[in-house]
Amino acid sequence: MGGKERVCVTGARGFLASWIIKFLLLKGYHVHGTVRDPGDDKNAHLKELDKASENLQLFQTDLLNSDGLCAAIAGCTGVFHVASPAPPADAVINSEELMEPAVTGTRNVLDACLKTEVKKVVVVSSIGAIALNPKWPKGQVMNENCWSDLAFCKEIKAESLFATIVLLSKTAAESEAWEYAKRSGLSIVTICPSVIIGPLLQPTMNSSSLYLLKFLQGFSTESDDDHAIYKP
């Protein structure tokens, strides 16, 4: 390891998480990644990253598996909590179905971090946790004090990936993270990206990337039980 620390990345096979792992490996860190099935071919791109053979370990768990999260995070000094529930882009989802894995999942990750004495947690939130606030003064720059209004988000009734995941679950999950930090003293920082776009490391389109592609280029969509695919 060359003296480098161990870092855990949740939701390892996702678009952003894959890039985080790639850069951590290049910096010489030993990386623990959480996935549902380490042997699944959808995770093959992670094992092909530079230095993955010696410095990447995949752990089988999910956000609702407390014991699995503790096992994955044990020995790590830092955690990037990137995992978030993501249905296929063309799915019609009741937003409440996503709240438990988003909010309870975030709480489970933070519980595991506290138990294993992690020094720093980076929680990937979203601009969706900020931007939907009709009461915010027009023209005033949004900052750490601005939160999307959950009641307003629920009234939108949009049947899109953005509305169900980003607006509701991301807002609630980040709020839970900050409340947890206040109660426990755990050191966390959140980032709220807007559009994340770039080359895919994985061989198939994941749900969020497909949704963006559909939005920008008008592609048609299909989905199977596990992930979305695309065609012109």
Give the CATH number of the domain where residue 82 resides. Answer: 3.40.50.720
Q: How many domains does the chain have?
A: 1
- In the annotation, is 170 catalytic? yes
pLDDT of residue 37: 95
- Among 27, 26, 30, which Cα is nearest to 8's? 30
Report d(CA 93, CA 81) in Å as an integer. 23
Does 232 map to a domain?
Answer: no
Give 49's DSSP letter: S
**Interval 172-210: pLDDT, tens:** 999 999 999 999 999 999 999 987 888 889 877 766 677
**Interval 117-156: pLDDT, tens:** 999 999 999 988 998 899 999 999 999 999 998 888 777 6
Does 59 map to a domain?
Answer: yes
Does 192 map to a domain?
Answer: yes
Does 188 map to a domain?
Answer: yes
Task: Point out which residues pair with 60 in neighbouring strands.
Answer: 35
Does 114 map to a domain?
Answer: yes
Does 150 map to a domain?
Answer: yes
Chain centre to alpha carbon of residue 153: 20
Does 220 map to a domain?
Answer: no
**Interval 40-97: pLDDT, tens:** 999 999 999 999 999 999 999 999 999 999 999 999 999 999 998 765 555 555 656 6
- Confidence band, pLDDT 50/70/90 cuts, at residue 166: low
Does 20 map to a domain?
Answer: yes
pLDDT of residue 128: 87
Catalytic one of 4, 47, 119, 170: 170
Q: Which residues contact 133 (CB under 8 A, 6 or more apart)?
A: 142, 146, 147, 148, 149, 152
- Among 224, 185, 198, 203, which Cα is nearest to 89's? 224
Report d(CA 14, CA 76) in Å as an integer. 20
pLDDT of residue 2: 43
Q: In terms of residue numbers, what domain contains 163?
A: 6-199
pLDDT of residue 180: 97
Q: For residue 115, is pLDDT > 70?
A: yes
